[in-house]
Amino acid sequence: MTRGWNAVGLTLLVAASAGIAACAGGGSANGSYAPIPAKRVASSSSPIRHVIIVIQENRSFDNLFATFPGADGATTGEAEAVPVSEQSQCPIYHEETVNLTEGNLAVGDDFGHKYSDLQIDYDNANMDGFDVDPIPAGGGKIDCLHPYQYVNPAQIVPYWDIAEQYVLADHMYQTQGSGSFTAHQDLIAGGTAVTPTESIIDDPSGFPWGCDSPANTTTSLITIYGNYEPGKGPFPCFTQYETLRDRLDAAKISWKYYTEKVIPGKDTAGIWNAFDAISAVRYSAEWGKKVTANDKLIFQDISKGRLPAVSWVTPDALNSDHPQELKGGKDVDYGPSWVASIVNAVGKSKYWKSSAIVILWDDWGGFYDHESPAFFDNQGGLGFRVPMMIVSPYARETSSSQPGYISHTQYETASIVKFVEQNWGLTPLQLPDTRATSIGDAFNFYQTPRSFIVIPSEHSRAFFLQQKPSGLPPDTQ
């Protein structure tokens, strides 16, 4: 089979992309889709005064919610025939439908999830290349059937509890089909266009990812003509585009980015700090204040009545759901408890009736997903599906007796940025958040605000407040 993008998909015009997005999502190109009556999402009418964006790592939708009732999940997938020369690494099998294996949340496999991996996995819409994608730093080994797995629901009970009570989006796609760096940029900027014809794609060549990178660090580009240019992009300390920070500051709306400490030259959880790559923030008084070096400060700000209007939260490696093998130790993943602790902190606070908590995973992490990208634009997207949940007293309900709701609306990463822009009447930043369907249709502001029910979890807020930063290298892509 010929791997890679369909040639037409690579050269789609922006206008065509927007039109396709609207059709697939059931809404208009400007994201105004509203299947039930809803008040205008703007500062004068929306009850939402606090948006908390909780960003987890590297999971496809099928990996976490393959068997969730009513959702578009799958427990089988398509695999490509393994070349004879490589069959010694893999079980011998021919191209066929294979069963996904039920496995652990804590897993040591870190599969490829760069732009080139997306092309291999996608395989011209066959979605069968996951087994032949090279393993990062694996000496040329291929993945075999390892990406074809889903997590045992008993290990992610808090996630399923949240999905059963609130909104689970099963057609949420990455705005750009790449790894963590661009995904986190998309969540603050809606896109990564650095020139009229070029956007950042993939991760910087050095750690950490941003202004604190080594001097020789480069980035990679995707052009509007479909050309992938690895290592040809600028140093990752950007001045080329604005972020929500610029819009929020101009409107005097508070914000904060809760994250781990950035350590120059080190691959720690600080690499997920999107604002380290924004020069105007990194070298301003906001660094260290509005951009923290301790993600757990969100608990303190909630309890002391200092929660800002817009928050982003990135975790320590052990709390992130990122596949990671602990050398000499046991694989662990405290992600479900970490997320539940944040949700519970907001839910039990004075902020509950004015909040929307958006929980998502930044990229697919190389795990199998059966749905192909909804369309292709000229900025390296859309990518594969990732899970997203929306928690709010105004989260849309299926019925009074069944509060959970599965949204089949086509969203993308920039849909979250668009909702923030709409909620506070801000000007759009880039093409994707102009094109994207807002997550606004996941709310019903006419319903009586629901009471909060605590999400049970193995570890409480106290566990994380006592937890020391692991300092572990969480990401290679």
Q: Where are the domains of the chain?
A: 16-75+153-466
| Rounded Cα distance, 142 and 124, in Å | 19
Write out pLDDT tens, residues 407-457.
Answer: 999 999 999 999 999 999 999 999 899 999 999 999 999 999 999 999 999
pLDDT at residue 327 is higher than 60: no
CATH ID of 16-75+153-466, from 3.40.720.10, 3.40.50.170, 3.40.50.720, 3.30.420.40 = 3.40.720.10
* φ/ψ of residue 361, rounded to 5: -110, 135
Place of tokens 């393959």: 66
Is this model's pTM higher than 0.85 or not? Answer: yes
Residues of the chain with pLDDT > 90, as a percent, come to 77
Cα-to-chain-centroid distance, residue 279: 23
Output the six-digit token pair for 174. 């990455």
Specify the pLDDT at position 4.
33
pLDDT in tens, 232-260: 999 999 999 999 999 999 999 999 999 99
Say if CB 115 and CB 328 are below 8 A apart: no
Confidence (pLDDT) at 329: 57
Report pLDDT for 196: 95
Instruction: Spell out a b/e string for 106-131, using b for 16 or more CB atoms within 10 Å of the CB, else e.
Output: bbebbbbbbbbbbbbbbbbeebbbbb
pLDDT (tens digit per residue) in 15-70: 333 333 333 333 333 333 233 333 333 444 799 999 999 999 999 999 999 999 99
78 token code pair: 């398509």
Are the C-beta atoms of 236 and 201 separated by less than 8 Å? no
How high is the pLDDT of residue 63? 98
Determine the distance from the C-alpha atom of residue 416 to the mean position of all C-alpha atoms in its chain, rounded to a whole number. 10
Q: What is the pLDDT of residue 44?
A: 42
Reply yes or no on whether the pLDDT at 178 is more than 70: yes
SS3 44: coil
1-5, 155-159, 163-167: least confidently modelled range: 1-5
What mean pLDDT is predicted for residues 99-103? 95
DSSP state of 80: P
Instruction: Yes or no: say if 211 and 282 are a contact pair by the CB < 8 Å rule.
Output: yes
Cα(17)–Cα(459) distance, rounded to whole angstroms?
Answer: 43
- Provide the pLDDT confidence category of residue 331 given band limits of 50, 70 and 90: confident
Q: CB of 167 within 8 A of CB of 419?
A: no
Q: Which of 50-64, 211-225, 324-338 comes out lowest in average pLDDT?
A: 324-338
What is the number of other CB atoms lying within 10 angstroms of the CB of residue 69? 11
Residue 3 pLDDT class (50, 70, 90 cuts):
very low
Query: Within 10 A of 231 (CB to CB), how many other CB atoms are there?
Result: 12
List CB contacts of 306: < 8 A, sequence separation 6 or more.
300
The tens digit of pLDDT for each residue in 181-201 reads 999 999 999 999 999 999 999
Q: Quick check: 452 and 34 in contact, CB under 8 A?
A: no
> H or E segment at 194?
strand 193-195
What is the per-residue pLDDT for 2? Answer: 34
> Residue 246 — φ and ψ, nearest 5°?
-65, -40
